[in-house]
Amino acid sequence: MRVKAPSEKNFRRVRARPGRRRRLKVVFSWPVARALFTAVVLAYAGYRAFDLAFTASVLAVSRIRVYGNVRLSSGEVQTLVRDLQGTNILSANLAKSRRDLLQSPWVAEVALRRVLPSTIEVFVSERRPFGLCRLGSQLFLIDRDGTVMDEFGPQYAEFDLPIVDGLVRSPRAGKPTIDETRAELAARVVDAIQDSRELVKRVSQIDVHDLHDAIVLLDGDPALLHVGEDRFRERLQSYLQIAPTLRARIPDIDYVDLRFEQRLYVKPRGRAERASMNLAASGGTF
């Protein structure tokens, strides 16, 4: 006997036909074609313009103009950046040329500028020596930052500069270096006396071993003058005013301490004790 199974009411056979594959239709239009063609032409034109700009002979660097140089000649500056000559002005490596220029001990700061079609302008700020530093048995020009600029010789005869002692710092390893803080103290002494022609001519040596007490030696006067760390011009001028009276009382002076208000201390040479003198009572204006 055949047994009929009851049909499931909730189940329905899905009658689905396999779908047809859709074909991608490429829509061709003249506006799109023109836009693509224009883009290609512009890209090629840009490439050709870029290529021509970086290979055109008219843009090759042919002139280097130097401004602001005093001690360095224009020829010396141009020699330091000779790699720029003939290079394309748009691709010239100005950063490297600036680094090359800063290798010169006379150059404190420098800027370079492109001037189309073929000129590079160089603006130089030079270092200014304020004193002479002893390194071994030689004297060298130094600036206020402690940079050793060049060995002092006949070519620098126009510089009438004081000798500065106490600048050299001897590390445990490596070469001796210049102490920038002591160089700054000595530079302040030199700056302070610029308004006095007499002091500029007479200050021959400055000792900055002690950061809080600069010692000055005047030309034609063997006394060591302690001027502290400020009021340098006032203290030195006071000494010049009192010096004749002081010499009359103490002919052979070791040092004079000018750091104290209205009073100076004098140590005679060969004696352990020192004497004091009231500047106001002696005619000084301290």
Rounded CA gap, 109 and 151, in Å?
Answer: 21
The bridge status of strand 213-218 relative to strand 168-169 is unpaired
Rounded CA gap, 227 and 216, in Å?
Answer: 7
Q: What is the CATH T-level fold of the domain 131-278, as seen in this structure? A: Rossmann fold (3.40.50)
pLDDT at 259: 93
Burial class (CB in 10 A: 0-12, 13-18, 19+), 228: middle
Query: What CATH code would you report for 57-126?
Result: 3.10.20.310
The bridge status of strand 131-135 relative to strand 138-142 is antiparallel
Which residue, chain included where needed, has tokens 């150059």?
Answer: 107
pLDDT at 113: 96
Rounded CA gap, 270 and 255, in Å?
Answer: 11
pLDDT at 286: 37
Identity of residue 56: A
CB atoms < 10 A from the CB of 199, how many? 20
Domain regions of the chain by residue span: 57-126, 131-278
pLDDT in tens, the chain (286 residues): 555 555 555 555 555 565 566 555 555 577 776 777 677 767 656 655 555 555 667 889 999 999 999 989 999 999 999 999 999 999 899 999 999 999 999 999 999 999 999 999 999 999 999 999 998 889 999 999 899 999 999 999 889 999 999 999 877 666 778 999 999 999 999 999 999 999 999 999 999 999 999 999 999 999 999 999 999 999 999 999 999 988 898 889 999 999 997 788 999 988 777 777 776 555 544 3
Closest CA to 238 of 212, 221, 256: 256
pLDDT at 284: 46
